[in-house]
Structure 1
Amino acid sequence: MAAGLDAFDEHRKLAPEATLRFRLGKRDAIRTRKTNWDGVKLRLAGSETSTPIPIAADGTFVLLRSQEAYDDEADFLLNQKKSSIRFSPEVRTPGLPDNVRRLGDYRLECQVLIAIGKKELNFAMRAAFNAYALGGDWCSTVRKNFGISFMLPDWSINTTLTVDGKQKNLRTNGVNFAAPIQDKSLPDNALITFEYWSGASLERKQRFLAQFPIHLKSSADKWGAGQQMQSKGNTAYSTVIALKPGKWRFCLKSPDGELYLGAERGKTVVTPGSEHAALWHEYHNFIVDVEQAGNYEVSLDLQNPDLPVVGVKRRD
């Protein structure tokens, strides 16, 4: 974390007016952040020092430099299982709406994130990443299949980049957003605006979802291209698949991955003849336990876009 503070100071020109905070997050939270941090206590403690760190209502905190704590090799202590909580830096320029970010802020946030990450890697792993990234500055590397993703507070159904009054659309993958920080043609003051799912109306959500074909992907066909689900109205879809006896995994997704529907953690088994809640961008597959070979209809009900329902039933 001290390395992150150093990186923030070193690369401050990317976001001269920005502040650095760190955000707590639940490791098992896929799309929504924990919103109630009452009772969660954090302190920086070593053998000789102990400093409480106030946590704001939104789960963020400020880390101040302390040479005394650094010399004492102090570490963060939580009053709950530490492995269930993650820490992430957040760089923001004040005065912008909550759904708007500067590209320079993301660039500086990346420098902080990577500086912390490098300290957590051993020498061999750092050397391997440096070789793959063609240098030590991972935030500026332009290479296929190499990029830095940032976690959004919510699913953005429309993301736009604005430079000198001109806009273009950017893609997000669920709550993961690969900001174009490596594109040197884009200035630091470029603005990225997110239209979050939670703030959209019912009609807006339905219009957004209607743009995408939805495919059934399953282990029954070795996770091939999948079968496109047919519309049975504005909000209902279904397809039929032949299944042999056994346990078959499946999920629902658009071909480009923009939409993904999976099972809630710990509730993955779907009994033929029943319906189950599905979650957007939850990457646990459903499992259907088939006892009798035959044709099975897989259905999706999006009448309430916030509460998708998946069903499986046998077709004679």
Structure 2
Amino acid sequence: MRALTTLALAASLLCGGLASAQDKPVRELEPVHVNAMRNPEVRKYEVILAGLDAFERHRQLAPAAERLYFRLRTQSKDESAQPLAVRLVGDGGFNMPLAIDAERRFVVPRVAAAEEAKSELELNRKRRVYRTDPDIRTPGLPAHQRRLGDLRLECKVTVAMAKAEIPTFWVMTINTILLRTDWCNFFGDPEDFRWEGVSKEAHFPFRSERPLLGAVLVDGNRSAKLEVKGTTFQVPIGNDSWSDDAVVELSYAPAPETPTGTAGETPRTAP
């Protein structure tokens, strides 16, 4: 029971499930800002900076990834007709719009003025329509492949941001339960036999942009089938017997069929 509670807690933290700074009251914003919502999706700039620091500390995991990107992932139906917009906004009228690409990815720069203004990263959508996740990709890989080192670095960034966002009490509690400060290494650690081996089997969840049929981890002549559910695939990132250059091969579920039959088929008309 303790094992299950621990894993559930860790998964909630790393997947953004626990109450965080996003659940705290949001300060009032002037109407000239990028949106007029009273409760927009926000994240403190200091949390983003913790992620940028982790990216720089662990760059060796993904040396070809030159920049840390963030991706907006859908959590619930987006009913707004307005284009997505994101910016840094802070005290004293500080306001810096950020560019979003076609894949809903963006870069958050280090700006001293943004830190001094106690800025927040703000999206022009209500809370919990989107979530902001790190997105690290080695150039040249096809869309259905994810390099293990990239995923490990994503975990490092995610954990650093979580630690900056949740109360210190929870950080210390999880450090004590996992017997380590590097939470990412817990997931799939082959040397950890506590709780009847549960921690060896605990894998870190990552998300795909499309529903999955399967996922296979490939490292040279070695391969292992990974657990998938919906758009999520589980990876033993803490198992260092798999190299950083190992690749997760994703296979996607077919697109839903249209009412007329074949997916993507032009609707038929009566003769």
Indicate the TM-score class for this superposition, using the shorter chain for normalisation.
0.5 to 0.7
Matched, 1:167 2:194: no
Which of the pair is proportionally richer in helix?
A: 2
Distance 2:220 2:181 in 1: 31
Matched, 1:28 2:72: no
Distance 1:37 1:188 in 2: 41
Q: Which of 85, 89, 97 is the aligned partner of 1:41?
A: 85
Residue in 1 that maps onto 2:234: 178
Structure with bigger RCO (C-alpha 8 Å, 6+ apart): 2
Given that 1:147 and 1:178 are in contact with CA atoms closer than 8 Å, whether structure 2 keeps it comes out as: yes
**Closer/same/farther in 2, CA of residues 54 and 88 from structure 1, 3 Å limit:** same
Q: Which of 34, 55, 66 is the aligned partner of 2:111?
A: 66
Distance 1:53 1:110 in 2: 24
Shift of 1:136: 0.7
**Closer/same/farther in 2, CA of residues 38 and 78 from structure 1, 3 Å limit:** same
Residue in 1 that maps onto 2:248: 192
Look at both structures and tell me which one has the larger radius of gyration over its CA atoms: 1
> What CA deviation, in whole Å up to 9, does each residue of 1:258-284 have, x standing for no partner?
xxxxxxxxxxxxxxxxxxxxxxxxxxx
Distance 1:171 1:98 in 2: 19
Given that 2:204 and 2:236 are in contact with CA atoms closer than 8 Å, whether structure 1 keeps it comes out as: no
Shift of 1:96: 0.3
Scaled by the length of structure 2, the TM-score of the pair is 0.67
> What CA deviation, in whole Å up to 9, does each residue of 1:36-76 have, x standing for no partner?
99612111011132100111121111111112111211002
For 1:162, the aligned partner's letter is V
**Tell me, what secondary structure is at the counterpart of 2:216?**
strand
Matched, 1:151 2:207: yes
**Tell me, what secondary structure is at the counterpart of 2:141?**
coil
Number of equivalent positions: 199
Residue in 2 that maps onto 1:6: 53
Distance 2:251 2:165 in 1: 34
Matched, 1:87 2:122: no
> What CA deviation, in whole Å up to 9, does each residue of 1:158-185 have, x standing for no partner?
2112111433322212222221201110
Residue in 2 that maps onto 1:224: none
Gaps of 5+ in 2: 1-47, 193-197, 264-271
Distance 1:182 1:102 in 2: 14
Residue in 1 that maps onto 2:24: none
Identity of aligned residues (%): 33
Which of the pair is proportionally richer in strand?
A: 1
Write out aligned runs for 1:1-316 (5 A): 1-18=48-65, 19-28=67-76, 39-48=83-92, 49-141=94-186, 142=189, 144=198, 146-198=202-254
Shift of 1:85: 2.2
Given that 1:150 and 1:176 are in contact with CA atoms closer than 8 Å, whether structure 2 keeps it comes out as: yes
**Tell me, what secondary structure is at the counterpart of 1:111?**
helix
Shift of 1:125: 0.9
**Tell me, what secondary structure is at the counterpart of 1:86?**
strand
Distance 2:51 2:121 in 1: 15
Distance 1:92 1:129 in 2: 29
For 1:178, the aligned partner's letter is Q
Distance 1:168 1:199 in 2: 26
Report the RMSD for the aligned CA atoms in angstroms.
Answer: 2.4
Distance 2:226 2:164 in 1: 31
**Closer/same/farther in 2, CA of residues 11 and 99 from structure 1, 3 Å limit:** same
For 1:104, the aligned partner's letter is G
Scaled by the length of structure 1, the TM-score of the pair is 0.58
Moved over 6 A (4+): none
For 2:140, the aligned partner's letter is G
Given that 1:99 and 1:193 are in contact with CA atoms closer than 8 Å, whether structure 2 keeps it comes out as: yes
